[in-house]
A and B are shown apart, each in its own frame.
Chain A
Amino acid sequence: MNVCTDQLAMLLADEGQLLSVSSLAYDKRTSAMVEEAQGYIPNTGRAEEVFLLKPDLVIAGTYTARAAVTMLERLNIKVVTIAPASSLKEVRARILDVGAALGQTERAEALAAEFDAGLAALQPDPNARKPRAALYGANGYTVGSQTLSGEMLTAAGFINIATEMGLTHGGTLPLELLALAAPEVVITSQPYPGASRSEAVPRHPVVARMQAQAVSSKMNDGDWLCGTPFVLRAIKNLARHRERLDK
């Protein structure tokens, strides 16, 4: 019932073991496994529709539709809630958690080991220059280094300017302060369809001007959002951006 646990479940479940995934798993902006999701029944996280699927087990995120989840528990359906990963270390733990819930411990351990190896292989050259970068999202929200996205940025060999501002987890960074900090790279998110003022902030001419001077990158496609092995792909892309900066 949660786009992040959905993807881990799709990676780990036996054929026929997984019945339905959330509708967000079909959206390229939130999920890295749109094609894989085609074989499952989409649900929108309402208690009624999930109940009618008669599942033996529901895997939900800690913050997924709380009312629907408690309702399903009252209807005697086993629900496992899994907290979102907030660091690269926790990605590994979540893989094992979902594996345990699905009774696929072996497969989960193999995937976790693969993830560890992949992460180790991505270690940036310790002698490489570390450019200063900012993750800048809707409403001017910037992400600190003690978060999954922040750790991804560090793993790709960047210095997060949020740390200079004393933001460990993240917070709103006014455009003026972003311009004053003058990071080399501003990584913004892919806008949703329709329009919104919140998303106009990272598309302000100031940000555009700063991005024009450097290689820019977009975040928040499916690879970024969830603690799944796909974060490795996002780190790899980021690291490639960093290398191009110095060429």
Chain B
Amino acid sequence: MTRLMAFLAALTAALFLASLAIGPAAATLSQSLTALIWGDGTPLTLIMREIRLPRALLAVAIGASLGLAGAAMQGYLRNPLAEPGLIGVSSSAALGAVLSLQTGFAATFAMALPLSALSAALVGVLLVLTLAGSRGASMTLILAGIAISAMAGALTSLALNLSPNPYAAHEVVFWMMGSLADRSMLHVTLAVPIMALGWLMLASLGRGLDALTLGEDAAASMGINLKRLRLMLVLGTSCVVGAATAVAGAIGFVGLVVPHMLRPFVGGRPSRLLWASAVGGAAMVLAADIAVRLILPERDLKLGVVMALIGAPLFLHLIYKTRKELA
């Protein structure tokens, strides 16, 4: 466990440095870091502090958020297919963000944008849990997710098409696929406080989720308050997914791939998986964000494209494995 955590932390740190070093402006890693830390007043300092640092910080925060949310939902529903992107929570959050941007509500006060996305994510989570039930059978869970994703996606497109802004309609892809291009420190300050709140809530679930592996009755007899557990899960997921989506669009599959890859290393204990998935998610999103910059540096290749290319085959594999339950 400690060896796993040390490995993941080292990987994340290495990827963080790589993320800071890669960009269209050519500079060596040591030049970049000097400009970042000591600020010599050159354009490189501006680039490092205002463009690359916020991008790398957001990748870490968003990756940790999505990994944590995926691990928590899978632990609660005891279903490896539960993931914020697949079950429509991310697309609900995107709808909330788009509505608040296009109506001008986002401009009314600083936190309006992430809070709108959070509220919409909350509606999404509650809808999924109501439709799928707390046992989280695969069939109802996936069907509910498809329905909510489709509905939220359609309303997002509608809102962007109705916008008086001629560019807005082209941005459906951003909201559905997600990207970290051209984000600034402003986005970090908007998203991180709400994400941090969500991290605290989700991290507190460990003991409850461990107990829940023995079944609901056993967990209740061990003194776990299931109502409170559920409330923290719903609120925590909404906070992290809402804040992440508000600044970077809906990035799917992180919460599916990361817990799946790490589960064998933590002995199936949900509490350990929470921590491992948070760090692993950060590494995953950093790596994917580096990949979009290396594959097509000229174009704004969406982060969600890379994540879906990694995640969708795994999703198919998981469905194949659970097909007995589905049949």
**Interface contact B168-A196, CB-CB below 8 Å:** yes
Alpha-carbon distance A14/B275, docked complex (angstroms): 76
Which A residues, 157 to 181, have Cβ-Cβ distances below 8 Å to chain B? 172, 174-177, 179-181
**Interface contact A194-B168, CB-CB below 8 Å:** yes
**Interface contact A174-B167, CB-CB below 8 Å:** no
B31 to chain A, nearest CB (A): 12
**Interface contact A176-B184, CB-CB below 8 Å:** no
Which B residues, 244 to 262, have Cβ-Cβ distances below 8 Å to chain A? none
With an 8 Å Cβ cutoff, the count of chain B residues facing the other chain is 28
Query: Which residues of chain A are near B168, meaning CB under 8 Å?
Result: 194-196
**Interface contact B164-A209, CB-CB below 8 Å:** no
Per-position binary interface string of chain B over residues 32-44, scored 1 when its CB falls under 8 Å from any chain A CB and 0 otherwise: 0000000000011
Residue A11 interfacial (CB < 8 Å): no
Which A residues, 172 to 224, have Cβ-Cβ distances below 8 Å to chain B? 172, 174-177, 179-182, 191-201, 204-206, 209-210
**Interface contact A199-B174, CB-CB below 8 Å:** no
**Interface contact B25-A176, CB-CB below 8 Å:** yes
Query: Which residues of chain B are near A193, meaning CB under 8 Å?
Result: 164-165
Partner of B46, one of A174, A179, A195: A179
Query: Which residues of chain A are near B104, meaning CB under 8 Å?
Result: 195
Alpha-carbon distance A139/B104, docked complex (angstroms): 21
**Interface contact B164-A192, CB-CB below 8 Å:** yes
Among A172, A195, A200, A205, max chain B CB count under 10 A is at A195
With an 8 Å Cβ cutoff, the count of chain A residues facing the other chain is 28
Query: Which residues of chain A are near B267, meaning CB under 8 Å?
Result: none
Q: A175-B51, A205-B186 are in contact. Are A196 and B163 (CB under 8 A)?
A: yes
Residue B50 interfacial (CB < 8 Å): yes
Per-position binary interface string of chain A over residues 114-148, scored 1 when its CB falls under 8 Å from any chain B CB and 0 otherwise: 00000000000000000000000011100000000
Partner of A176, one of B51, B101, B106: B51
Among A176, A180, A201, max chain B CB count under 10 A is at A176
Which B residues, 79 to 132, have Cβ-Cβ distances below 8 Å to chain A? 101-102, 104, 106
Partner of A180, one of B25, B50, B174, B186: B25
Alpha-carbon distance A194/B167, docked complex (angstroms): 10
**Interface contact A192-B23, CB-CB below 8 Å:** no
Alpha-carbon distance A210/B50, docked complex (angstroms): 12
**Interface contact A175-B182, CB-CB below 8 Å:** yes
A197 to chain B, nearest CB (A): 5
Partner of A174, one of B24, B44, B101, B185: B24
**Interface contact A195-B51, CB-CB below 8 Å:** no
**Interface contact B164-A194, CB-CB below 8 Å:** yes
**Interface contact A177-B182, CB-CB below 8 Å:** no
> Is the contact region of chain A dominated by helix, strand, or loop, or is it mixed?
helix
B44 to chain A, nearest CB (A): 7
Alpha-carbon distance A193/B168, docked complex (angstroms): 10
Residue B5 interfacial (CB < 8 Å): no
**Interface contact B50-A206, CB-CB below 8 Å:** yes
Alpha-carbon distance A138/B171, docked complex (angstroms): 12
**Interface contact A206-B106, CB-CB below 8 Å:** no
Query: Which residues of chain B are near A175, meaning CB under 8 Å?
Result: 47, 51, 182
Among B46, B165, B174, B182, max chain A CB count under 10 A is at B182
Alpha-carbon distance A209/B185, docked complex (angstroms): 13
Alpha-carbon distance A177/B101, docked complex (angstroms): 28
Alpha-carbon distance A176/B298, docked complex (angstroms): 12
B83 to chain A, nearest CB (A): 25
Alpha-carbon distance A179/B104, docked complex (angstroms): 30
B303 to chain A, nearest CB (A): 14
Residue B170 interfacial (CB < 8 Å): yes
Q: A172-B298, A182-B43 are in contact. Are A138 and B167 (CB under 8 A)?
A: yes
Query: Which residues of chain A are near B264, meaning CB under 8 Å?
Result: none
Partner of B174, one of A177, A179, A197: A197
Query: Which residues of chain B are near A206, meaning CB under 8 Å?
Result: 46-47, 50-51, 184
Alpha-carbon distance A139/B174, docked complex (angstroms): 12
Which B residues, 47 to 67, have Cβ-Cβ distances below 8 Å to chain A? 47, 50-52
Which B residues, 298 to 314, have Cβ-Cβ distances below 8 Å to chain A? 298
Alpha-carbon distance A182/B47, docked complex (angstroms): 11
Alpha-carbon distance A140/B102, docked complex (angstroms): 21
Query: Which residues of chain A are near B166, meaning CB under 8 Å?
Result: 192
Query: Which residues of chain B are near A138, meaning CB under 8 Å?
Result: 167
**Interface contact A196-B164, CB-CB below 8 Å:** no
Q: Can you offer 24 A-B residue contacts whose CB atoms are under 8 A? A: A140-B182, A172-B298, A174-B23, A174-B25, A175-B47, A176-B23, A176-B25, A179-B46, A180-B44, A191-B165, A192-B166, A193-B164, A194-B102, A194-B168, A197-B167, A197-B171, A200-B182, A204-B51, A205-B186, A206-B46, A206-B50, A209-B46, A209-B50, A210-B46
Q: What 4 new A-B contacts, CB under 8 Å, besides A177-B25, A179-B25?
A: A204-B51, A205-B50, A205-B186, A209-B50
